[in-house]
Amino acid sequence: MRRADRSFDPLKAYVRAVIAFGAACCAVVFVLDGASLERLLTLEVALFAACALIGELFPLKVVTRGVEGEVSTSTTFAFATLLSAGPACALVVLVGASFVADGLRRKPPTKLLFNGCQYAVTVSAAAVVLALLTGVPRFDGAFHFTPGDLPGILAAAGAFFLVNSALVAVVIALVQGLRVGRYLIEDSLFQVSTGGLMLGLAPMVALAADFSLPSVALLFLPLLAVHRGGREAIEKEHQALHDALTGLPNRVLFRERVEHAVRSGRNAAVMLIDLDHFKEINDTLGHHAGDLLLEEVSQRLRGALEGKDTVARLGGDEFGVLLPGVGADEANVVADRLLARLREAFATEGLTLEVDASIGIACAPAHGKAVEQLIQRADIAMYAAKEGGRGHVLFEAALDRYSPRRLSLAGSLRAAIGNGEVVLFYQPKAELTTGRIVGVEALARWQHPRLGLIGPSEFVPIAEQTGLIGPLTEHVLEAALGQVREWNGLGHDLTVAVNLSARSFLDAQLAVEIPRLLDRCGVAARQLELEITESMLMTDPARAEATLTRLGAIGLGLSVDDFGTGYSSLANLKNLPVHWIKIDQSFVIDMPHDPSDAAIVRSTIELAHNLGLRVVAEGVESHEAWERLAELGCDLAQGFYVSRPLPADALTRLLADRAARAPEAPRPLRVVRPSSLSA
């Protein structure tokens, strides 16, 4: 068992109390009304007993508040028996039908006894009210009750309804961790419209039997209509709340159950599970194989959880799990168990497949008391698990420390682009042979009026998520080309490099817009370079080659940024129309002191030159690194040793200062790296 044993279990104590009290009620009723048991042999009571048994065997299934339940017509005939033959016969009819039906379904003995005994308590309570207010059942006339008995009958039906509903509600509330009073209030409309309606038919059933026993059959028509209509309604409701492929609860039902768990005030854990590399399986083997895999995954998840837990398919290859009454430590244990089950090999259409998953966990109330908040934080933790390859991650505040800030930035980014708050800093690139600055890299910064200078790593992802990456890219390109035009006017012939995001790189419209910008700004295509990351090229090499070919046809330079940090090699680049590679600073910074880094840099430069590519070294921060790169034949250097990123006017002054003296290697600078200005 997942949960530790407790010294006192309120659910078990309650069930035992109901069983004991129900048994006592049976004893009292049989002592006081045992003589009426002979009426069980009458055709009227026998018919009611048969109908009650059919009602228990074929209940009307319903879904209320996200939980499947049943409404039985047996209570109609049991209450009719109470009106026609007395409490002892009613007990035998209803409790007997319950025992037979539960026995055929092979329910555990405790459930069988509880269901029967809660009916015994219910019938006894109704019998007491009926005896106090009426003389029913009456055996001295043609009918078992008179019009004057109707108020008392209604009161007895109310007692039957309230006691039966309350006894069941306490069990459901204890199982789901809800407050009994709140559950009764929230469920009252449903109970009145179902259980109350069934009891309301009982006096008519009794009257019809008194008038003519065969006339009871006429009442079967509305009961059958209710039953059939209910079955159709439950099928539609089930379809609306469950996934068609796996049969699991869908996102709507999952959210409802999370809400119920949160509102109970008890601990609960929410998990989001995303299958790793499922798209590759789908694309390779087809959607049919993917569907079979998802079905098997759902079965394994269900098999690894307890009955009170919920596993749902939220869409695609994403699943949700709700663990009511569970804290963080237990949730981590369950996550380990789920991962172990998912990592076992799958056999699909004769193939053996291995699947991994990433799980994010958020716990209530520690990580939130609202459904949206919990699901969002579980999602954040899941992506942290995926990015870090950690299997499962429990949410912590550090993972979402920018969340409110991101919302604020997302709301104001569009205006910031239009208002010119997104400004460019420029970091020079110098020839290692002469020290002459021949180009710059344009680095976007957001000069926020309240938050200060914000780096691209924070606002570019927001632009991609909000659909603003196109306007942002156009703004950066236009500003960079406009600045190149100014430098051209001052006699500085420089190239400007602009980083492209993945979405901008794959945007076919980019190859149309760039020539227009070049014409508008009056800048030659050779003075513009576009930088793309190594990972962007390797994600879809064929598409990347087509995109690079279109861009290269314009006449601009193409550079692979952060080379060495991804999974490509120079051999992969030989067929791509690129002109430059930029060695990542992680290899360059420690190159003077780390033989391994020095060997990587040397090999990269030699192979690049053999393939006709030129090389830029990033992260050059010392004279030793500059000298070593010059010895290795590297073409250009970029880093704090040359200059930190500067605003356009500051860089213009630097260019003028360099032009006033003979070209030479840059003088060593003592630089403190400000995080907001890092390249």
Over residues 178-191, the pLDDT tens digits come to: 666 666 666 555 56
pLDDT at 148 exceeding the cut of 60: yes
Q: pLDDT digits over 63-105, tens only? A: 555 455 567 889 999 999 999 999 999 999 999 999 999 999 9
pLDDT at position 227 is 61
Q: Which residue has the higher pLDDT, 663 or 30?
A: 30
pLDDT at 603 exceeding the cut of 60: yes
What is the mean predicted confidence (pLDDT) over 124-141?
91
pLDDT at position 237 is 67
Q: pLDDT digits over 554-583, tens only? A: 999 999 887 765 545 555 667 778 899 999
The H-or-E segment that residue 431 falls in is strand 422-431
pLDDT at position 674 is 39
pLDDT at 548 exceeding the cut of 60: yes
Q: Sorting pLDDT into bands at 50, 70 and 90, what band is 384?
A: confident
338 Cβ contact partners less than 8 Å away, ≥ 6 residues apart: 271, 273, 301, 304, 305, 321, 357, 359
pLDDT at 203 exceeding the cut of 50: yes
pLDDT at position 7 is 59
Options 2.60.120.560, 1.10.1760.20, 1.10.3720.10, 3.40.50.300; CATH for 10-241 is: 1.10.1760.20
> DSSP readout, 640-674?
TTT---EEHHHHHHHHHHHHHS---PPPP------
pLDDT at 662 exceeding the cut of 60: no
This prediction has a pTM of 0.48
Report domain extents, the chain. 10-241, 251-400, 470-662
What is the mean predicted confidence (pLDDT) over 348-370?
87
Q: pLDDT digits over 4-30, tens only? A: 444 578 889 999 999 999 999 999 999
Q: Using alpha carbons, select from 167, 138, 166, 140 the residue that is nearest to residue 153.
A: 138
Q: What is the mean pLDDT of the chain?
A: 84
Tokens 């992802």: give the residue: 461
pLDDT at position 667 is 52
Peptide bond into 108 cis (omega under 30): no
In single-letter form, the type of residue at position 136 comes to: V
pLDDT at position 398 is 65
What is the mean predicted confidence (pLDDT) over 352-362?
89
Work out the percent of the chain whose per-residue pLDDT is above 70: 84
Backbone φ, ψ for residue 129 (5° rounding): -60, -40
Q: How many helices (H) and strands (E) does the chain have?
A: 27, 19
Work out the percent of the chain whose per-residue pLDDT is above 90: 47
pLDDT at position 539 is 60
Q: Which CATH superfamily is domain 470-662 in?
A: EAL domain (3.20.20.450)
pLDDT at position 673 is 42
Cβ contact 186:196 at 8 Å = no
In whole angstroms, give the CA distance from residue 295 to residue 633: 58
pLDDT at position 234 is 62
The CATH fold of domain 251-400: Alpha-Beta Plaits (3.30.70)
pLDDT at position 506 is 74
pLDDT at position 180 is 65
Q: pLDDT digits over 483-494, tens only? A: 999 999 999 999
pLDDT at position 411 is 82
The H-or-E segment that residue 225 falls in is helix 216-241
The H-or-E segment that residue 598 falls in is helix 595-610
What is the mean predicted confidence (pLDDT) over 413-441?
94
In whole angstroms, give the CA distance from residue 351 to residue 240: 34
Lowest mean pLDDT segment, chosen from 83-97, 157-171, 209-223, 644-658: 209-223
Q: Give the count of alpha carbons within 13 A of 654, CB side only.
A: 22
Q: Sorting pLDDT into bands at 50, 70 and 90, what band is 170?
A: confident
What is the mean predicted confidence (pLDDT) over 220-244?
70
pLDDT at position 222 is 67
pLDDT at 108 exceeding the cut of 80: yes
pLDDT at position 64 is 53
Q: Sorting pLDDT into bands at 50, 70 and 90, what band is 319?
A: very high
pLDDT at position 212 is 78
What is the mean predicted confidence (pLDDT) over 235-251?
83
Composition of the chain by helix, strand, coil, percent to 5: 60, 15, 25
Q: Which residue has the higher pLDDT, 499 or 401?
A: 499
Q: Residue by residue, what is the 3-state secondary structure of 243-276? A: CCCCCCECHHHHHHHHHHHHHCCCCEEEEEEEEE
